[in-house]
Structure 1
């Protein structure tokens, strides 16, 4: 028996428009923040600090390399430590949002942001821990600078994914805010 392609149904041909099966889940469009103060989501408020501090750590490392001034090595130690600690706080609030809000939890992009953010926290923690155990001046070149560069790169990737979730899908926003 010979099958002719004209006789078989085309698996790519559909009878109607394509439908996202995830979008049909109950509460898929319920994406408002559950952790907010006066309508302002906590995760969105906290995340700016570790982002700025991670980039500042790279900047301080670069200035130390350029000038040799110990101030910049010490500044990188403090910026890296605070980036990690505030990143943990932002991560806790983001994780709670992920787990509590079904519309956020249902999207694969949310999990991608979560995994990359956890990787970023690992790099930030390693950077700070290395500086604490080695000494803030000795730690800068070459490994501290390299870890800071990795942290800056992961910050950019994580921030891009997080921004995409907020601006494209309005995830973790609040509908109770005044506007």
Structure 2
């Protein structure tokens, strides 16, 4: 039984996906606004490490870059942005095609579900202020069946289930 991370092809796949998604959002007139203040020069590598950890791979993001609190604070305090979220998901779906995942690939479906959930739930939770984000959040994990454990809480330390196609 494979994790989503393993079924997707591991770290190289997620770096290709992060690069493809970043290129798509930078070309989108609405979503690119989120990057107008600038972004880390290693954004795609960090994003790939985050997705890797969330989807059953090694905890590279937590070990090297930060925790969920730091990620959520970067995405907080911007008010509601449903249109931007929808467009970010559309860019993600296009990036999935860019990296060669067919429409009927089960990995594509689970990645779409994960990204949609993350964009519209965890990354949008603290619309008023980044100061509202509590300390000690851990990266939520995602399995073939969706969120694992108490996602986004300080107690979420379970690894994704080993289900797979």
TM-score band w.r.t. shorter chain? 0.3 to 0.5
Task: State the structure with more CA Rg.
Answer: 1
Which structure has more helix as a fraction of its residues? 1
Q: Report the TM-score, using the length of structure 1 for normalisation.
A: 0.33
